[in-house]
Amino acid sequence: MTTPLGRRLAARIAAEGPIGLDAYMAACLFDPEHGYYTTAPVFGGAGDFITAPEISQMFGELIGLSLGQAWRDQGAPGRIALAELGPGRGVLMADLWRAAGKVAGFRDAADLWLLEASPRLAAIQAERLAAAAPRFLADAAALPEAPLYLVANEFFDALPIRQFLRTPEGWAETVVGLGPEGALRPGRVPVAAGLPRAIAARTRATPPGTILEHCAAAPAIIAEIAGRIARHGGAALIIDYGGWDGAGDTLQALARHRPADPFAAPGTADLTAHVDFAPLAAAARAAGAEASGPVAQGRFLERLGIGLRAEVLARGLTGAALAAHRAATARLTGAEEMGTLFKVLAIHPRGAPPPPGLAPEDTAEDGPPA
């Protein structure tokens, strides 16, 4: 094996047998000693991938204005929780917080809560956001009982998944076992019992060859968020790479901005799976809230006025800086770039309009309009 974590996982598999993709992802991303998020530099041009807030300050600013406006539209409640799941280097929240300063009273009403599994990233967030005095959540269940205004960008795609293949004989699960010379290798084992209910209950046709993925953690986290929004008001924006009721193998590894083999060098690449928004919307509705969208990120940002904001910022720029700013705007909104691959799901109280950036026509019980 090529990495210390790989050697450790190989020893565990040799002793105990193959492990599920969920256990494998959790180890690769968050092993305390060798996990990707616990050790690697990860973000930005020098890292392995770049996220929307790292591309342009406009991303966090517009999200701040959307949540700030939702707060005003709901009567500007006092003592609210402003929260982010998986804040990375804290860039999104720093931009959001600055822009939210333009919404009179919002920052004074807000207590800032962050959910972060990586102690190294939590330290970076605490430093960057010191002026907002953030507090850290042990898990989503620890969110305060208060009106909740929340954002999560590229958080749900890092949650461990299980993966199931329909075979002529029944369902099989993808597991990580050992190949020749002790290398980690994906394989499949029949599922005797214990197929997750969400998979068993899928009504869409599943002919042999169909692969379905299941993220057990996501609906549970959504239920915590949506429950608070249903009881106290608020709004959540969930932004990620994904689709609706999808099928197929979406596990992917990214190292140095390039696709990598997810099993070759555990702990050294980012591992993600596409987010299926259908179970998230269902979990929000089951918890008593409304879900709107998902809508394409490009459309969401355009509705929030990214064109105008981009022009204002462009006025102060020339030469290479201006070109970089134009490229960043196109990257966030362009159809061939992040504009349609990334989607935004909103959670808001029943009977209240969705937060700005989403429109009532984005909403449908059985999924977003095509």
Residue whose C-alpha is closest to residue 270's, from 4, 13, 43, 33 = 43
Report the nearest approach of ligand SAH to the CB of residue 256 (Å): 16
Cα 117 vs. chain centroid, distance in angstroms?
13
Interface with ligand SAH in residues 24-43 (CB under 6 A): 37, 43
Interface with ligand SAH in residues 283-322 (CB under 6 A): none
Interface with ligand SAH in residues 96-115 (CB under 6 A): 115
| Alpha helices, H only, 165-272 | 197-200, 217-232
Largest Cα span, the chain: 64
Report the nearest approach of ligand SAH to the CB of residue 356 (Å): 20
Site string for ligand SAH, 49-88 (x = CB under 6 A): --x-xx-------------------------------xxx
Report the nearest approach of ligand SAH to the CB of residue 136 (Å): 10
Other CB atoms closer than 10 Å to residue 254's CB: what's the count? 17
> Which CB sits closer to ligand SAH, 80 or 273?
273
Report the nearest approach of ligand SAH to the CB of residue 219 (Å): 14
Amino acid in the structure at residue 184: L
Contact indicator for 38, 270 with CB cutoff of 8 Å? no
Report the nearest approach of ligand SAH to the CB of residue 15 (Å): 26
> Which CB sits closer to ligand SAH, 118 or 250?
118
> Which CB sits closer to ligand SAH, 272 or 363?
272
Residue whose C-alpha is closest to residue 283's, from 329, 325, 330, 236 = 236
Rounded Cα–Cα distance for residues 128 and 126 (Å): 6
Half-sphere exposure of 180 (CA within 13 A, CB side): 0
How far does the chain reach from its first CA to its final CA, in angstroms?
45
Report the nearest approach of ligand SAH to the CB of residue 70 (Å): 20
Report the nearest approach of ligand SAH to the CB of residue 79 (Å): 25
The residue sitting closest to ligand SAH, measured at its beta carbon, is: 86
Determine, following the binding rule CB under 6 A, whether residue 23 of this chain makes contact with ligand SAH: no
- Measured N-to-C along each axis, helices 21-30 and 4-16 cross at an angle, to the nearest 10 degrees, of 150
> Which CB sits closer to ligand SAH, 51 or 268?
51
Interface with ligand SAH in residues 152-191 (CB under 6 A): 153-155, 158-159
Opening angle at CA 328, ends 323 and 332, nearest 5: 150
**Residues binding ligand SAH: number (CB under 6 A):** 19
> Which CB sits closer to ligand SAH, 122 or 314?
122
Residue whose C-alpha is closest to residue 38's, from 246, 266, 240, 245 = 266
Rounded Cα–Cα distance for residues 67 and 357 (Å): 10
Q: With contacts defined by CB under 6 A, name the span among 147-155, 162-170, 255-263, 286-294 that binds ligand SAH.
A: 147-155
> Which CB sits closer to ligand SAH, 50 or 327?
50
> Which CB sits closer to ligand SAH, 154 or 362?
154
Report the nearest approach of ligand SAH to the CB of residue 48 (Å): 10
Report the nearest approach of ligand SAH to the CB of residue 226 (Å): 18
Contact indicator for 13, 21 with CB cutoff of 8 Å? no
Using CA atoms of 247, 88, 108, 61 in order, give the dihedral in degrees to the nearest 10: -70
Rounded Cα–Cα distance for residues 29 and 262 (Å): 11
> Which CB sits closer to ligand SAH, 154 or 290?
154
> Which CB sits closer to ligand SAH, 54 or 213?
54
Q: Which residues bind ligand SAH (CB under 6 A)?
A: 37, 43, 51, 53-54, 86-88, 92, 115-118, 121, 153-155, 158-159
